[in-house]
Amino acid sequence: MRRTVEHIDNYSTVEVVNVQIFVPEVDRCDCNCIHEDVVARVRRFMPPEEHLMELSDLFKVFADSTRVKILCALSQTEMCVCDIAVLLGMTKSSISHQLRVLKQAKLVKNRREGRVVYYSLADDHVSTIFDQGLLHVLE
């Protein structure tokens, strides 16, 4: 169904299109019973809220496909900005920006050799996170 709406917020004509969004059904309980023993047991193992927020921030860094591509490349070998830029078909400036974000998140580290700065994954945890994520999406 299409309809036209006139003069919304000082704009002339806006065409509004009905959009159907299909959301999959989620199975849920038909009763309201609380398994207090389960809740209490799990609550003891929940990390502090601050740690969960930090983990959430870490996962947000993985939400950008360019950063994921950079991590993928660096999982093979250390690389300089110029090589990563050529590999991904992007500018050195845009790669440098993404590397800055990855470095702030402690996912990559760098070393200087003369005029060249090489980047690599910060540690084995980063490689494990990347590998496990890739395995998950390939299932």
Q: What is the pLDDT of residue 17?
A: 65
Residue 71 lies in a domain: yes
Question: What domain range includes position 133?
Answer: 57-138
Which of the residues in the chain have pLDDT under 70?
1-17, 19
- Compute the distance between CA of residue 70 and CA of residue 67 in angstroms, rounded to an integer: 5
CATH of the domain at 75: 1.10.10.10
Q: How many domains is the chain built from?
A: 1
Residue closest to 74 by CA, chosen among 112, 115, 110: 110
Q: How is residue 41 written in tokens?
A: 């047991």
Secondary structure of residue 31 in the 3-state scheme = coil
Residue 20 lies in a domain: no
Q: How is residue 134 written in tokens?
A: 């890739």
Residue 100 lies in a domain: yes
Q: What is the pLDDT of residue 113?
A: 97
Residue 130 lies in a domain: yes
Residue 74 lies in a domain: yes
Residue 111 lies in a domain: yes
Q: Work out whether the CA dihedral 29, 33, 38, 41 comes out positive or negative.
A: positive
Q: What is the pLDDT of residue 13?
A: 53
Q: What is the pLDDT of residue 16?
A: 56
Q: What is the pLDDT of residue 21?
A: 73
Residue 22 lies in a domain: no
5-13 own/partner pairs: CB under 8 Å, 24+ apart? none
pLDDT, averaged across the chain = 89
CA 97 to centroid of chain Cα atoms: 16
**What is the tens place of the pLDDT at every residue in 91-131?**
999 999 999 999 999 999 999 999 999 999 999 999 999 99
Q: How is residue 42 written in tokens?
A: 């799990």
Residue 75 lies in a domain: yes
pTM: 0.76
